Amino acid sequence: MSLFCDEKFKFLQKHPFIAEIEENCFVGYVAGRFKLQIILPDFPQLDNINIAVFDAQTTPPTKESNPDASAILAILSQLEQLKKEHHCQVHINSSLSQLKLSRFKGDDQHFLELARASETAFSVISHSLPDLGSSVELFMYPAAPEAHTTQFVRVLEQLEEFYSNLNTLDQLCYVVDPTEVDTRLTWRIIKFSQKVFLKITLHPLQPSSIEVAFIGPTDEIELLREQYNGKLEDWDPDSDVYTNMLRIFEIMSFPMRTEDEADAIDCGICMSHRDDRGKIPIVSCDNEKCSLVFHIDCMKQWFLSLKESKTFFAISIGTCPYCKQKLSSSFDMLLRCL
């Protein structure tokens, strides 16, 4: 018995933040953040050991899955290391089956969520990065949290220019969509003129490769498309997307957001500025004298009610509900992204 007590004494001395709360049942903190509950019914033998690890903020669970103790300690020390190396926050659930890493170097937006796939390997269940296409085998297989995090941080560094380009558009243009920042999106719809909007899509890993879709009256966007295609070869890879766009369209700046929404133009169908999904009207007809603009959803409903509306190659063609002149739009492309 004295030998057992000796062993316990040594164990408790080695782990000053762990206390014995009942006979052979220990509770305490590891690495300042993780609470550890160890039950050793056959102490000093480690047979039937029961270890539960949970976030220091949460209540101890009554019954926990019982992964191998050394595996838990290996994961915990790995997480501590990751916190230090990447200056991130680590959240862990009570059974150590799910992890969330966030606030990488103080960045609020990015995160990586992992779920335990086996004793020490985790699968990525969610993250804040855009779709990088099939060329990048990102997070395909279960791996140690360390491997996933290292890869995540490496990709984040590769995306620096991509995010910087999007950030400039957000700051210096009137972005009508998306209405909220989502780090997974690769596009912005910006206002170009009263009736013309541009949808700019960036390739996350090739900053100078962009796609521009034009939304507006047919004649106006035809001219802009020609101008864009004609000047595309002058693209300066040393300048950002915003600067290149200004040069291509020969303008000094893009329209900025008007602070006062009372001045904003309402949809000619539902008479409101923002629709149920928070979107603003951006579709207009080909009649220069018609000043109305419409929500995409409202216009799609209007077209469905028209006998003479048609769709060719994803472009829907119908008539303006106000002046009855031609109105065409690629609703499906727009609705897919909006």
Q: Could you list the residues that contact Zn ion (CB under 5 A)? A: 267, 269-270, 285, 287, 290, 295, 298, 320, 322-323
Side chain identity, residue 84: K
Cα–Cα distance between 88 and 82 in angstroms, integer? 7
How far, in Å, CA of 122 to CA of 251, rounded? 50
In the complex with Zn ion, the residue whose CB is nearer, 130 or 281, is 281
As a whole number of angstroms, the distance between CA 243 and CA 254 comes to: 11
Neighbours of 230 (CB within 10 A): 10
Minimum distance of Zn ion from residue 174's CB (angstroms) = 19
Of 94 and 287, the one with the shorter C-beta distance to Zn ion is 287
Whichever of 71 and 323 has its CB closer to Zn ion, that residue is 323
In sequence order, the 6+-apart residues with CB closer than 8 A to the CB of 229 are none
CB of 219 to Zn ion, least distance (A): 14
Supply the minimum distance, in Å, between the C-beta of residue 327 and Zn ion. 7
Rounded to the nearest 5 degrees, what angle is found at the Cα of 145, between the Cα atoms of 140 and 150? 80
Of 194, 209, 269, 270, the residue nearest 244 (C-alpha): 209
Is the sign of the CA dihedral 44, 48, 54, 57 positive or negative? Answer: negative
Residue among 122 and 294 whose Cβ is closer to Zn ion: 294
For residue 290, the minimal CB distance to Zn ion (Å) is 3
CB of residue 287 to Zn ion, shortest distance in Å: 5
Whose Cβ is closer to Zn ion: residue 137's or residue 276's?
A: 276
